[in-house]
Amino acid sequence: MTGGGVEGPLGPRSRRSCRRGVWLAAVAWQFLAVTASAQLGAAIAPARIEALVGPGARTTEVLSFSNTSATALSVSVEVVDFDVAVDNGVLEKPSGTSPDTLAPYLRVTPLIAEVAPGQQVFFRCSLRAPAEFAQLRAMIYFVAHPHVEDTGGTKVVIVPRLGIPAYLQNPKARAGTLEVRSVSLQRATGSGEAVELDLDVVNTGERNIRPNGYLRVRATDGSFDRAFAFNEGGEPVLPAHQRKWRMTFGPVPGGELSLRLRFTTSRNASHQSDHTIAAASPPSL
């Protein structure tokens, strides 16, 4: 690894929404050509590190890596900088190259570990805050290579590359606050059985904000009344970032619908808006 080193409340909620966010813990998978006969599986916890500490302070987190497969794994740790695109895609950058890089202040130990089948191994993550900062971030990846035997043939196996985002945030920095630029609700394209939300927001603060709330859907004839969770996975909007968010909720009936959207925009404020969606068009013959 280069550059900095690694040692290193609102209303009713529904049972589920149709589609959750595209990244919660930035779990990725690499496809490598190797000889193998077993399926691989791994898990890491917690899903993220989000430490709130003042300048010069230190904090430590413990990360657990579990080998859930029947194959021994050699696990190595790497750190990269990252940003997030408007469409929520994760953009990786070389470690230590971003203005908001956490890499120089982050140590994970050990860097390499052997993890037997069914074993859980713990990694220590130490963070040291610099003298001046608002938010720093990095992605910590755990790459698991299997111990495989040569059976005379080459097979393709999925090698887990599990990552968690790490954030170091200054309590004196401005808390995350969402500016709502636009909201639209309509029936999902190609389906009258779901509602699609398109949301354009900007975080005007200096720390992450993870908005939560609900979308309440009611049939105007009184036959349906249900609340679906907004941002059920707790996805963040990063400081000074614009986010064009698309969420799908359902199933919903085909008749005319009355909608109420409510979600937090700061610690003390929320957005609320009411919408009406016409009945779904009958399928063409």
Number of C-alpha atoms within 13 angstroms, CB side, residue 189? 3
Residue at token pair 């779904």: 280
Q: Pick the residue with more confidence: 13 or 178?
A: 178
Mean pLDDT of 85-110: 94
Asked if CATH classification 3.30.1020.10 holds for the domain at 28-169, the reply, yes or no, is no
- Dist. CA 3–CA 102, nearest whole Å: 10
DSSP E strand stretches across 4-117: 28-34, 42-45, 49-52, 58-67, 73-84, 90-93, 106-109, 112-115
Closest by CA to 4, choosing from 168, 171, 127, is: 127
Mean pLDDT of 215-228: 97
Three-state DSSP class for 103?
helix
Kindly indicate the confidence band of residue 148, based on its pLDDT and cuts at 50, 70 and 90: low
**Burial bucket for residue 126 (CB in 10 Å: 0-12, 13-18, 19+):** middle
pLDDT of residue 33: 32
Cβ atoms of residues 148 and 117 within 8 Å = no
Mean pLDDT (the chain, rounded): 85
pLDDT of residue 73: 92
pLDDT of residue 151: 56
- Dist. CA 277–CA 170, nearest whole Å: 43
Q: What percentage of the chain has pLDDT greater than the value 90?
A: 70
pLDDT of residue 219: 96
Kindly indicate the confidence band of residue 189, based on its pLDDT and cuts at 50, 70 and 90: confident
Backbone φ and ψ of 101, nearest 5°: -65, 135
Statement: residue 280 has pLDDT above 90: no
Statement: residue 153 has pLDDT above 60: no
pLDDT of residue 8: 32
Kindly indicate the confidence band of residue 199, based on its pLDDT and cuts at 50, 70 and 90: very high
Q: Where are the domains of the chain?
A: 28-169, 178-277
Domains 28-169 and 178-277 share a fold: yes
What CATH class does 178-277 carry? mainly beta
The region of weakest confidence among 72-86, 123-137, 154-168, 213-227 is 154-168
- Dist. CA 269–CA 281, nearest whole Å: 37
Statement: residue 34 has pLDDT above 60: no
Statement: residue 206 has pLDDT above 50: yes
Mean pLDDT of 62-73: 92
Mean pLDDT of 128-135: 97
Cβ atoms of residues 232 and 17 within 8 Å = yes
- Dist. CA 142–CA 163, nearest whole Å: 6
